Amino acid sequence: MNSPRVMIVDDNPYNVELASFVLTTDGLEVAVAVNAADALAQIPVFRPDLILMDVQMPGMDGLELTRRLKADPATGHVRIVAFTAYAMKGDEAKMLAAGCDAYLSKPIEVASFARQVKAYLAPAG
């Protein structure tokens, strides 16, 4: 069986390096995109099962990219988890309204991060 594919869309190299290391060590296949344009170029080739989406990025932010991906029949099925340090009241609602399926906060808890991501990959229901 193929390993689940996770794309991390984040412009912070430290966040990307740590998250990627933890997920690949736990057996997931990981691709990294540093911005929305990079993600749009890679998604058709990598075909992720789940995208960890940073919300605040230069250029097109993660919520706009999420809206575009969810509106596209080719990518609308991909689970998108907001992956952000935003923790203000109401922010989670904005992320869900934009089409995110869930929310994971940064900084990550290394001991539980892979388990959390795998839970989002599990079939719903």
Instruction: In whole angstroms, give the CA distance from residue 81 to residue 96.
Output: 9
Asked if 22 and 113 count as a contact pair (C-beta separation under 8 A), the reply is: yes
- Spell out the per-residue pLDDT of the chain, length 125, in tens: 588 999 999 999 999 999 999 999 999 999 999 999 999 999 999 999 999 999 999 899 999 999 999 999 999 999 999 998 866 777 888 899 999 999 898 889 999 999 999 999 977 64
* CATH code that applies to domain 5-121: 3.40.50.2300
Chain centroid to Cα 72, Å, comes to 17
Query: With a threshold of 0.75, does the pTM exceed it?
Result: yes
Q: What is the pLDDT of residue 53?
A: 96
Helix (H) or strand (E) holding 46: helix 36-46
Q: What is the pLDDT of residue 1?
A: 56
